[in-house]
Amino acid sequence: MSKLKSTLPNMVLSLGIITILSGLILGVMYSVTKEPIEASARRMQTEALAEVLPPFDNDPEAVMKRVEVDGKQFEIYPAEMDGRSVGAAVKGYSLDGFSGDIVLICGFDNEGNIVNYRVLKQAETPGLGARMELWFRDPTAARSVIGRSPGQSRFIPAKDGGDIDGITAATISSRAFLNIISEAYEVYREFSGDNDFNSSYKDSSTGASPRERH
């Protein structure tokens, strides 16, 4: 018993030193990896904008606007060519994926048609929901959303009565994906001033709607 008492302080000291060293190592690793991770994310987003928008000659990221809709944050990236609007990309997300949140960016032309989309984050099941990156641009049957507008079609899985063929055996993932696209479209419509409905969203930096800012 006395031997245990004599070694206990040393054990506590050792554990304390290990804890401190572990914390320092984690802190250093975070500092070392933080900037490359952020740079990679920025590069991925820049590449995504080039893919999802019509041809443009401005810097959409420099004029990005943040808006809030029903407590959810969206980012709008206006695109111009020769000083004239050619559309915009909207970045949105859903917490209702089968395996967690889904983040994507969708580009719209001036008519509200989808130019392209890019999934920026998802953790859906491989071979099922994870196929969303390719599935919804596949021209087979009614899978593709490219060139279509949520204002003209019901962006709901066909098995739920909508106009889009959802991913086989991945209805939850399909619902979440299509819901993000639909919400992004509503944000774009209000931003572009192409609708008459009363929107509740506000610019997160000024508190004004797009029309009020204009």
- Neighbour count for residue 117 (Cβ, 10 Å): 26
Q: Which two tokens stand for residue 104?
A: 């994507």
Check whether 14 has a pLDDT greater than 80.
no
What percentage of the chain reaches a pLDDT higher than 90? 64
**What residue type is 151 in one-letter code?**
G
Check whether 6 has a pLDDT greater than 90.
no
Helices and strands of the chain, counted as H and E runs: 4, 6
Check whether 10 has a pLDDT greater than 70.
no
Q: What is the DSSP string of 164-200?
A: B-PPTT-HHHHHHHHHHHHHHHHHHHHHHT---S---
- pLDDT number for residue 214: 34
**Highest-pLDDT range among 17-26, 29-38, 67-76, 128-137:** 128-137
Q: What pLDDT digit, counting tens, does each position of 125-136 carry?
A: 999 999 999 999
Question: Residues 6 or more apart from 66 whose CB is under 8 A from it?
Answer: 73, 74, 75, 76, 203, 204, 205
User: What's the rounded mean pLDDT across residues 88-106?
Assistant: 95
Closest CA to 89 of 77, 75, 71, 104: 77
Q: What pLDDT digit, counting tens, does each position of 158-179 carry?
A: 999 999 999 999 999 999 999 9
Q: What is the DSSP letter of 124?
A: P
Lowest mean pLDDT among 6-15, 60-69, 128-137: 6-15
Say how many residues make up the chain. Answer: 214
Q: How far apart are CA 178 and CA 104, in angstroms?
A: 11
- pLDDT number for residue 184: 97
Tell me the whole-structure pTM to 2 decimals: 0.74
Q: What is the mean pLDDT of the chain?
A: 84
Q: How far apart are CA 10 and CA 201, in angstroms?
A: 60
Structural domain boundaries in the chain: 53-213
